[in-house]
Amino acid sequence: MSEILRAEKISKRFKIGDKYVDALNSVDLSFSKGECVSIMGPSGSGKSTLLYLLGLIDTLSMGHIYFNGQKISSLSSRKKAHFRSMHIGFIFQSFYLLPELNCLQNVCLPAFIQDKKNFWKKNEFAKKARNMLIKVGLEERILHKPTELSGGEMQRVAICRSLMNEPSVILADEPTGNLDSKNSDMIANMLQSISKKENKTVIIATHNESLAHRADKIVILKDGMIQ
């Protein structure tokens, strides 16, 4: 498998009062196309920080991040936002669906943000989103709002949303953290399928050992360093 994403000596330091805390300390990692990697470790070990840095949501204190061999960590804020919309899909523990939008609209949102000038594509986006929702068993929930859904249903909507712009990399931060065992298993199957059948790189920060052991590789973090 060819390398798609690489973190080189990346660090993140926060200032709390008059002290500095190293959330990540000189971490080296590489990820291949179509690979599923789980990031494990205790709370505060740096798992979420690592995902936010890889997704260019947060900024590095030191080090570099490369995508297909090109350095992306030094891009401007505007170019980072464009890169994220094109290449990165995010899945969060708390779903972050917009409550005023129905399932279809929530899934379409990344496409509208990426291509907001071309409103003529609205029907095309809606058709694509509808097909994805049907594929994950939400045919009867397409026009429902998040408050009308279960946790597992909301996470399936969030996964569809993360795939809307056909990103190369999916970053999932505790995607089963708010779910029961049945729904956790369903989401684990979906993430595994995204990696293997759609050839996307899936990176999962999780405490769920069952989910973690479905990955091709497990990375253990402790005190901001790889063990």
Cβ pair 165, 84 in contact under 8 A? no
Cβ pair 183, 176 in contact under 8 A? yes
Asked if residue 118 has pLDDT above 70, the reply is no
Tell me which H or E stretch contains 22.
strand 19-32
Asked if residue 106 has pLDDT above 80, the reply is yes
Cβ pair 56, 36 in contact under 8 A? no
DSSP state, residue 117: T
pLDDT of residue 26: 95
pLDDT of residue 208: 92
CA nearest neighbour of 7 among 34, 22, 25: 25
pLDDT of residue 176: 95
* CATH H-level, domain 3-226: superfamily: P-loop containing nucleotide triphosphate hydrolases (3.40.50.300)
Nearest-5° Cα angle at 173, 45 to 128: 165
State pLDDT tens for residues 185-227. 999 999 999 999 999 999 999 999 999 999 999 999 999 999 8
State pLDDT tens for residues 137-160. 999 999 999 999 999 999 999 999
pLDDT category, 25, cuts 50, 70, 90?
very high
The residue to which tokens 């049907």 are assigned: 134
Tokens of 194: 């995204």
pLDDT of residue 166: 94
Please state the domain extents for the chain.
Answer: 3-226
pLDDT category, 123, cuts 50, 70, 90?
confident
* Assessment of whether the complete model's pTM goes beyond 0.85: yes
pLDDT of residue 75: 96
The sign of the torsion formed by the CA atoms of 180, 91, 163, 148 equals: positive
Cβ pair 204, 37 in contact under 8 A? yes
pLDDT category, 117, cuts 50, 70, 90?
low
